[in-house]
Chains A and B, each alone.
Chain A
Amino acid sequence: MSYLHLAILAPLLLSIFMPFFYKRFHLIHTGWFVLPLPILLFLYFLSFIPITSTQKTVTESFNWIPSLGINFVAKVDGLGLLFALLITGIGALVVLYSIYYLAKNKEKLNTFYVYLLLFMGAMLGVVLSDNLIVMYAFWELTSFSSFLLIGFWYEREKSCYGAQKSMLITVFGGLAMLGGIILLYIMTGTFSMTEIMSQPNEIFHHDLFIPALLCILLGAFTKSAQFPFYIWLPDAMEAPTPVSAYLHSATMVKAGIYLVARFTPIFGESSVWFWLVAGVGLITLCWGSIFAVKQTDLKAILAFSTVSQLGLIMSLLGVGAFALHYEGLDDNIFTAATTAAVFHLINHATFKGSLFMAAGIVDHETGTRDIRKLGGLIHFMPITFTISMIGAFSMAGLPPFNGFLSKEMFFTAMVRVTEMNMFHLETWGISFPVLAWLASIFTFVYSMILVFKTFTGKFQPEKLDKKPHEAPIGMLISPIILVSLVIIFGIFPNLLSDSLISPAMAAILPSLLHAREAFEVHISFWHGPTIELFMTIGVIIMGLILYKTYPKWQKIFKVIPEKLSLNHVYDQTIKGSQTAANKLTNMYMNGSIRTYLVYIFAFLITLLTITLMWKKAFKLDSGNVSFIGVYEWVLAILVVVGSISILFVKSRMTSIILLGAVGYTVSLFYIVFRAPDLALTQLVIETISVALFLVCFYHLPKLRKFETRMRFKLTNALISLGVGSVVTAIALSAHSHKLFSSISQYYVENTYEKAAGKNMVNVILVDFRGFDTLFEITVLAIASLGIYGMIKLRLNRGKE
């Protein structure tokens, strides 16, 4: 257990003490006790930058289940460190924000911070684990804590719905990912990421390559809200805003991005990977940006914009995998796509975090998030307006903010795709820049809607519950820090190049680097008059036109009927599977014993008949049989006639007496077959049984006198005929296949020699196999106690 392990587990450990802090120091907001931890962790992780920027990694291992190859191996490389810094940095800002956002005396702060810390620890575990099973464990913990956080206000129906939806979808993907991990284990024999990376060729040519790829991608797509699994994210907006800002914009939804980046060295060369990651990313990008325009709720706009931006990063990672088709770094135009992905990942965390916090402030200070009710807030909340504007302009990709730079790089990457002549890109490649451009226009439109519908226009005080005013300074600190970063990264884009971006790229594309080589990341502000610049100008012009004419074309969203939406499909699937399962269960579980017996007997007959036929086991050997005397014939006929006539008699008493007759005939059989002890026992027991039957059924007070013959039912007849013939067939075949002789010769020889008895059956019962007898006595004892209890114990007698 090293300091690194301790750092990952620290949030989990601290969460144990949260209820204590909450109860003991209830005058102080519990968040203040949480705040130092992410700050300390952030500083701790900063100390790794000098190591990772020289392309080195830190690995610490701690044995967990060594016999299964599952050990808690913590590994810090460029990619893991980038995410760890995002998680702890934004975590600290979110905790600070939540201290002012959540009221001390109204909310259950103890549970909130427990869940938040659980999430933080789980997320650190995901990005810093080298062992895939450990990573998976943390991955599910993020799903779980996210579920708890979305359902934080569990008395609201929508929160519960959103929590359940996100749980079902992310856990579905998580399980698929577990499948992928196991497939990778089958291929490589290890759960260690580093060791799996070292044998990409074996994996690439293995039959399980594609299934493993699909499973891992399913995990990544569900977690990162890619098409068509994005539907949980807008519903997750029922969570408190700090949670939305932290989980559903900056960290958890990027776990899928992390996964894709992490597995690029293994799967990246395959065309399936490229088409799925880049294709799904682009579809998500367009879809999310178009539907964000439709939304009227601030957080819903932000949710769809998150979906869309995640699609952008995903598509960049897909295109970035092209770099693997080049040898080395010379003239490798596609490494720039990966640079853009990593850069945009950081940028998105900054501007989206600040936008969510600003939306939370608007919600907190006005009581609504509906843009139809909002407007003209610029006079009341100038600081919030500035924050939102910078964030939104960065999101729209306007200079001089960081979003502009990453959008330019995004366009560059998408334009370069058209130059490729593999994976059918010579025909389909042109769609990449077109879709990217289209999505950027809509991104521009919703960014403008987000800012200007909220803060400019007509102020409508009658629609607001509260009189709006500027938020307390404590609430503003975190978004101000984030938007300052938006501007700083925009103006000095190379601030992070060597420290964070280059090492992260080294982790995504390790095979391109030779010894002591590093990615040269240089993000320049001004490219000169390139095609990307004209695309951006086009985006701004088209975006402005569309924004101005928005009321005219917003009806277009009504063309798409609600029934075709993915949410409808999801709801119907859930509802449909419930009703289908209900119907199915009601169909075969009808509560009637007879039906269940029919199933059981029919199954028995089918299974045995098929086995007999399939194995060709039926055999009739008459050479081994003994002679039939007249006496046996008579007894056999008696048994058959007796048992069959039970079916036809009307009276209960007659059927009991007939059962007795069959029993006595059976004891006569025992006499014929030389079994005196059996005959004695059978006679006695048959007598007692018949007496019991008669007692039970004669003295019944409430017995209704409907003595009818059994009604004939064809199913019952067929099934019983089947059971009878199967038993006969098996008995005949078993008797005809004598495989070895009996062990009874031993008993015959030793009954007197060793056990000092002459009655072999009795000696077997009490000496050779005495244990059977002991427990048969126990059975009788239990039966008699049970009967006694049943008759004597009347617990509900008093009630009636």
Chain B
Amino acid sequence: MEILMAIVIGILFMTATYLMLSKSLLRIIVGTGLLSHGAHLLILTMGGLKRGSAPILGGNAENYTDPLPQALILTAIVISFGVTAFFLVLAYRSYQELGTDNVEEMRGTEQND
């Protein structure tokens, strides 16, 4: 399972990178979204997959899955959500001000040099 997951994560990283190298700001943001999915899944996979029941006491399970990576991912999800939301609104505002979503056109003016 881990080998399959490693390949899936690799494909997520690959598509994310390809999108981030594109010109459209939207595609770059979509790329970062895919990249964070890949990273979260990577943390989970590296913690080991399916070694017991969900990490909630009470049932008479003999062993549990590792709770630590899950806590780390939860933090990471929230943070990447905050950053993505900020990034989205930034993109939205730059559309409004600059009228373009092409990052090749966002090079700064002569005065900014």
The reply to whether chain A is a binding partner of chain B is yes
Taking Cβ atoms with an 8 Å cutoff, the residues of A that contact B are 591-594, 597-598, 601, 620, 622, 624-628, 632-633, 636, 639-640, 643-644, 646-647, 652, 655-656, 659, 662-663, 666, 669-670, 672-678, 681-682, 685, 688-689, 692-693, 696-697, 700-704, 710, 713, 716-717, 719-721, 723-725, 727-728, 731-732, 734-735, 742-744, 747-748, 751-752, 758-761, 764-765, 769, 772-773, 776, 779-780, 782-784, 786-787, 790-791
Please name all residues of chain B whose beta carbon is closer than 8 Å to the beta carbon of A704 when the two chains form the complex.
Answer: 99-100
* B103-A675 in contact (CB<8A): no
**With A594-B21, A643-B15, A702-B96 as given contacts, are A731 and B26 in contact (CB-CB < 8 Å)?**
no
* B2-A646 in contact (CB<8A): no
* A752-B57 in contact (CB<8A): yes
* B6-A682 in contact (CB<8A): no
How far does the Cβ of A297 sit from chain B's closest Cβ, in whole Å?
41
Q: Return the chain A residue nearest B86 by Cβ.
A: A783
* A681-B77 in contact (CB<8A): yes
* A625-B65 in contact (CB<8A): no
The 9 closest A-B pairs by CB, nearest first: A724-B14, A728-B10, A783-B82, A720-B17, A760-B67, A720-B18, A760-B55, A764-B71, A758-B57
Alpha-carbon separation in the docked complex, A696 to B87 (Å): 11
Please name all residues of chain B whose beta carbon is closer than 8 Å to the beta carbon of A628 when the two chains form the complex.
Answer: 1, 4
* A779-B21 in contact (CB<8A): no
* B88-A786 in contact (CB<8A): no
* B68-A747 in contact (CB<8A): yes
Residue from B6, B66, B96 in contact with A731 in the complex, judged by beta carbons closer than 8 Å: B6
**With A666-B41, A681-B74, A688-B81 as given contacts, are A674 and B54 in contact (CB-CB < 8 Å)?**
yes
Residue from A627, A696, A780 in contact with B92 in the complex, judged by beta carbons closer than 8 Å: A696
Write 8 A-B pairs (CB below 8 A) sorted by A numbering. Answer: A592-B103, A593-B103, A594-B22, A626-B1, A655-B30, A659-B34, A744-B68, A761-B67
Please name all residues of chain A whose beta carbon is closer than 8 Å to the beta carbon of B55 when the two chains form the complex.
Answer: 674-675, 748, 759-761
* A786-B86 in contact (CB<8A): yes
Q: Which of B87-112 contact A (CB under 8 A)?
A: 88-93, 95-96, 99-101, 103-104, 106-108
Alpha-carbon separation in the docked complex, A769 to B71 (Å): 9
Residue from A674, A682, A764, A791 in contact with B77 in the complex, judged by beta carbons closer than 8 Å: A682
Please name all residues of chain A whose beta carbon is closer than 8 Å to the beta carbon of B101 when the two chains form the complex.
Answer: 703
* A779-B103 in contact (CB<8A): no
Alpha-carbon separation in the docked complex, A783 to B22 (Å): 25
* B11-A724 in contact (CB<8A): yes
How far does the Cβ of A797 sit from chain B's closest Cβ, in whole Å?
10
* B74-A700 in contact (CB<8A): no
Please name all residues of chain A whose beta carbon is closer than 8 Å to the beta carbon of B20 when the two chains form the complex.
Answer: 597
Please name all residues of chain B whose beta carbon is closer than 8 Å to the beta carbon of A627 when the two chains form the complex.
Answer: 1, 50
* A720-B21 in contact (CB<8A): yes
Q: Return the chain A residue nearest B77 by Cβ.
A: A681
Q: Return the chain B residue nearest A712 by Cβ.
A: B18
Please name all residues of chain B whose beta carbon is closer than 8 Å to the beta carbon of A632 when the two chains form the complex.
Answer: 1, 4
* B95-A703 in contact (CB<8A): yes
* A675-B85 in contact (CB<8A): no
* A759-B68 in contact (CB<8A): no
* B40-A666 in contact (CB<8A): yes
Alpha-carbon separation in the docked complex, A677 to B107 (Å): 42
How far does the Cβ of B24 sit from chain A's closest Cβ, in whole Å?
8
**With A593-B103, A632-B4, A643-B34 as given contacts, are A724 and B41 in contact (CB-CB < 8 Å)?**
no
* A636-B8 in contact (CB<8A): yes
B 52-82 binary contact with A (CB < 8 Å = 1; else 0): 1111111000011111101101110111011
**With A728-B6, A760-B55, A761-B67 as given contacts, are A656 and B74 in contact (CB-CB < 8 Å)?**
no
* B67-A728 in contact (CB<8A): no
B 8-36 binary contact with A (CB < 8 Å = 1; else 0): 11111111111111111011011001100
Q: Return the chain B residue nearest A742 by Cβ.
A: B66
Residue from A640, A673, A677, A742 in contact with B49 in the complex, judged by beta carbons closer than 8 Å: A673
* B92-A748 in contact (CB<8A): no
Alpha-carbon separation in the docked complex, A598 to B52 (Å): 42
Alpha-carbon separation in the docked complex, A723 to B17 (Å): 7
* B74-A677 in contact (CB<8A): yes
How far does the Cβ of B106 sit from chain A's closest Cβ, in whole Å?
8
